[in-house]
């Protein structure tokens, strides 16, 4: 596969929660996204590979291998690629400080914006009490999430038949269910506090599959989203603006689509 000449180039691209190896991974859409978008620096913000899913049932189609190869080609073409493992690819946490084909593996990173503001880049699972203190419950929740993804595919098959756009069951539930809303709020506040502890102006993370940009008492919280259902990436423009780009419609079918959010570094 050739990278060709992407139409849009950014200062920085942040991608999280691709879950390569899981049947719910939408790696094909991510490859479609990367045909159009490029960046000088690419952060892989955890759960890129799903070791949990691979351990339970090996699944590695060509599209998953193509993504790995594409990242290696981006490095060879001069891009800086930084991999920050999450809980699903925690097996890579034994390799902090090493490189794989030029891709650097680190525990977390400090990204400096155009204006000099500092952003802590971290997956975020270490601040999830369910993952840390009840791993069996986390795995159970992972299975339930897989079931929701399969149900969501079934629903969207019929929506496409009748000309309706893509719809995410999980994203709808996260917005409507009170406990989910409270959990997301607590996660954001905790990550913002961690950024403050690192003397940073903001935090960039993944883990909860909920893309958003907002401020928490002067700390900018930015979540990349995921490539299982919401299919979003966080980008930093050359002028310092941060923006969440959704990519739920294949390139050959899409029309210009508004971004979820665009924020210029103040």
Per-residue model confidence as pLDDT tens for the chain (266 residues): 446 667 899 999 999 999 999 999 999 999 999 999 999 999 999 999 999 999 999 999 999 999 999 999 999 999 999 999 999 999 999 999 999 999 999 999 999 999 999 999 999 998 875 434 434 334 444 554 555 555 556 555 665 676 666 655 555 545 544 455 567 778 899 999 999 999 999 999 999 989 999 999 999 999 999 999 889 999 999 999 999 999 976 665 555 555 555 666 65
For residue 236, being part of any structural domain is answered with yes
**Pairing mode of beta strands 80-83, 37-44:** parallel
For residue 5, being part of any structural domain is answered with no
For residue 16, being part of any structural domain is answered with yes
d(CA 74, CA 259): 24
Judged by phi (left if over 0) then psi (alpha if -120 to 50, else beta), residue 123 lies in alpha
Q: Among residues 9, 34, 16, which one has the least CA distance to residue 191?
A: 16
d(CA 204, CA 111): 9
For residue 212, being part of any structural domain is answered with yes
Per-residue model confidence as pLDDT tens digits over 215-251: 999 999 999 999 998 899 999 999 999 999 999 766 6
Supply φ then ψ for residue 4, to 5 degrees.
65, -145
Q: Among residues 111, 137, 136, which one has the least CA distance to residue 203?
A: 111
Could you tell me the CA-to-CA distances from 87 to 5, 19, 141, 209, 250 in Å, in that order? Answer: 34, 11, 14, 13, 29
Q: Among residues 82, 73, 59, which one has the least CA distance to residue 31?
A: 73
Q: Among residues 227, 263, 255, which one has the least CA distance to residue 34?
A: 227
Domain span holding position 190: 11-264
For residue 45, being part of any structural domain is answered with yes
pLDDT, position 131: 39
Percent of the chain at pLDDT > 70 equals: 71
Q: Are 17 and 226 in contact (CB under 8 A)?
A: yes
> The domain that contains 182 carries what CATH number?
3.60.21.10
For residue 103, being part of any structural domain is answered with yes
Per-residue model confidence as pLDDT tens digits over 113-128: 999 999 999 999 988 7
Q: What's the total number of domains in the chain? A: 1
Place of tokens 């959704």: 246
Tokens of 218: 């002067």
For residue 230, being part of any structural domain is answered with yes
For residue 225, being part of any structural domain is answered with yes
Tokens of 225: 């989203």
């Amino acid at each position: 596969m050739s990278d060709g000449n992407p139409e849009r180039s950014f200062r920085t691209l942040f991608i999280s929660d691709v879950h390569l190896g899981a049947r719910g991974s939408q790696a094909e859409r991510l490859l479609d996204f990367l045909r159009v978008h490029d960046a000088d620096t690419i952060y892989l913000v955890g759960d890129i590979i799903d070791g949990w899913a691979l351990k339970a049932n090996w699944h590695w189609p060509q599209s998953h291998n193509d993504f790995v190869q594409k990242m290696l080609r981006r490095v060879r073409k001069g891009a800086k690629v930084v991999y920050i493992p999450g809980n699903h690819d925690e097996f890579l946490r034994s390799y902090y400080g090493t490189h794989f084909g030029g891709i650097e593996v680190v525990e977390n990173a400090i990204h400096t914006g155009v204006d000099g503001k500092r952003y802590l880049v971290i997956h975020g699972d270490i601040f999830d009490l369910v993952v840390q203190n009840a791993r069996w419950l986390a795995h159970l929740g992972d299975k339930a999430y897989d079931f929701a993804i399969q149900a969501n595919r079934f629903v969207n098959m019929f929506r496409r038949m009748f000309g309706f756009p893509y719809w995410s069951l999980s994203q709808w539930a996260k917005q409507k269910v009170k406990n989910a809303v409270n959990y997301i709020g607590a996660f954001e506040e905790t990550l913002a506090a961690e950024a403050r502890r690192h003397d940073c102006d903001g935090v960039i993370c993944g883990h909860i599959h909920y893309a958003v940009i907002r401020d928490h008492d002067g700390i900018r919280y930015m979540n990349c989203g995921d490539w299982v259902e919401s299919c979003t990436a966080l980008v930093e423009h050359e002028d310092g603006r941060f923006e969440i780009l959704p990519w739920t419609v294949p390139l050959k079918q899409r029309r210009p689509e508004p971004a979820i959010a665009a924020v210029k570094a103040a």
